[in-house]
Structure 1
Amino acid sequence: MQPILFDLGNTTVKAWDTATNNFCRLTSEEFIDFLTKRPDQLLFGYATGNDSILTGMKNPIRLLAADDAMPLKSHYQEMSTLGLDRWVLCNSHFLEGNDSFLLVTMGTCITYNIVKEGVFLGGAISPGWEMRFESMHKMTANLPKAEYMKDSKLLGSTTMGSLRSGVDVAIQMEIAAMIEEYINRFLLKKVFICGGHSNRLPNHSKNYIFAPVNYELHALRRIHDYFFKNGTL
């Protein structure tokens, strides 16, 4: 039977019912209701948030863990704390035939992930858009809550404009500089960008490859098929 692939986050669940080719983003309560109508399908995925909602489910569950055998080797010193979303995406991209690359994810946090000759080396984690806007608002007395705007300017002539420059413009410049540094230092030729906020980053270079919609779930499918082929499902 075709599996239900899922990415259980802090506030929502991204799921793909491969039997019906139905992609959806659900709340925890909606996900539980979604599963009660499909009690026999295998659940395959990972939790970057609280996985307690999976307790008591009738479905067979294959929850990915940091110690699962994956195609990539790793020099990361704390695999137990490595985000499974980063690890799955890097392994999936490797299975697509890429052995050296920089993978940038853009969501709640921005992550940079280096794979060199089939070995995951590590990278960096930086606050994403909403986290930066929220922290400036909550950790000061007078700064308002700003939101992303596509056409933010480098020079802010109002407080709101200055906040947007400090986030919208600064993040784009930060990412461009980080990518250039990683490419030069590790002699990488491919940059792969994915995540819900990847559309906020202009395609500056022919070496940037932007992931298609729902790439995270397609990456899970690739890992599922890898496990099935190797008898570790």
Structure 2
Amino acid sequence: MILVIDIGNTSIKLAAVEDYKIISHHRTTQQNFIEDCTSLLNQFKQIKNAAFCQVGKFDQRLYNQLQNLVTIFKIGNTIKLPFKNLYQSTTLGNDRLALVAGAISKTKYDKGALIIDAGTCVTYDYIDPSLNYHGGAISPGLRLRYESLHNFTANLPLLTAQTIESFIGDSTQSSIHSGVINGLTQEIEGCIRQYRKKNKGIQIFITGGDAQLLSTQLKSRFFATPFLMLIGIYHLYQFNKNL
């Protein structure tokens, strides 16, 4: 069992993971980070190692304190990957590496996968049946779309995401919801169709903070995997540990 830590753009997630199973998990903040890590380590005293994935900002002092509690495996561009990375940029996010690794741990190798992470941004990541990672796309997430409409117009209100019953908005509020929710849903459906033309047997994974809401609007077949990032971080740890 190890401690898995995901430092995202909007939240920090902690999990005790063993044999690819999430034993315990919860969200925390930088203010409560060390306290919550210590509590989890006291609960599972067999944990001696942590796998650490950072995308958002994180206080280096907290990382230093964490080093006093566990041995840390940190995801970065120097680790070994369980796939061939064909991405042409060196700025590929650690979160996308972890998501692809998580999908690989759940995918039949002759299928390939499209991983859709619906968070602050919506990322699309494609890995072919030969485990070649090609990249994908990055798009604004739901919150960014709502905020853009509010921040860059004079009169549109800032709304919170919710499911829609009809794509025809009959008020300003319902029109915004339709434009944002239906717009992103149609984007995702269109991307899925594009990738299925390229690979008919592809497996689709949807994860991230807005995945549950969007899943209710989507018609395509997919695997809803809320812990894909945590499992991917764990898989990268196991892959490098066994080299």
Show the counterpart of 2:6: 7
- The one of 67, 70, 74 aligned to 2:78: 67
Q: Mark the runs of 5 or more structure 2 residues left unpaired by the alignment.
A: none
1:145 counterpart (158, 162, 166): 158
Partners in 2 of 1:10 and 1:223 — Cα distance? 20
Within 5 Å, give how 1:47-86 maps onto structure 2: 47-51=54-58, 52=60, 53-57=62-66, 58-59=68-69, 60-78=71-89, 80-86=90-96
* Residue identity (%): 27
Contact preservation (8 Å) 2:127, 2:133: yes
d(CA) in 2 for partners of 1:16 and 1:82? 24
Partners in 1 of 2:78 and 2:199 — Cα distance? 26
Equivalent residues in 2 for 1:151-230, closer than 5 Å: 151-200=164-213, 201-202=215-216, 203-206=218-221, 208-211=222-225, 213-230=226-243
What is the TM-score with the length of structure 1 in the denominator?
A: 0.88
Give the 3-state SS of the residue equivalent to 1:71 in structure 2. coil
Instruction: Find the aligned partners of 1:24 and 1:48 in 2 and give their Cα distance.
Output: 18
The alignment covers a number of residue pairs equal to 226
**CA distances 1:154-204 after superposition (whole Å, capped 9, x unpaired):** 111211111111101111111101110122135453212122211122352
Superposition TM-score, scaled by structure 2 size: 0.84
RMSD across aligned positions (CA): 2.2
> What is the match of residue 31 of structure 1?
33
Partner AA of 1:10 in structure 2: N
- Give the secondary structure class of the aligned counterpart of 1:111: strand
CA contact (8 A) 2:4 2:51 kept: yes
1:4 partner SS: strand
Q: Distance in 1 between matches of 2:155 and 2:35?
A: 42
Question: What residue is the counterpart of 2:146 in the other structure?
Answer: 133
1:46 aligns with 2:53: yes
Residues 5 and 50 in structure 2, CA contact (< 8 A), matched pair in contact too? yes
Aligned CA distance change for structure 1 residues 189 and 220 (closer, same or farther; 3 Å):
same
Q: Which runs of 5+ in 1 are unaligned?
A: none
Distance of aligned partners of 1:190 and 1:182 in 2 relative to their CA distance in 1, 3 Å threshold: same
Give, as a single letter, the amino acid of the residue that structure 1 aligns with 2:51.
Answer: F
> Are the structure 2 counterparts of residues 62 and 189 from structure 1 closer, same or farther at C-alpha, using a change threshold of 3 Å?
closer
User: Which residue identity is paired with 1:118?
Assistant: L
Of residues 133-142 and 87-96 in structure 1, the stretch that sits farther from structure 2 once superposed is: 87-96
* Per-residue Cα deviation, 1:54-96 (whole angstroms, up to 9, x for no partner): 1343132221102311110011011x31111111121232233
- Per chain length, whose mean CA-contact separation is higher, i.e. which structure has more relative contact order (CA < 8 Å, sep 6+)? 2
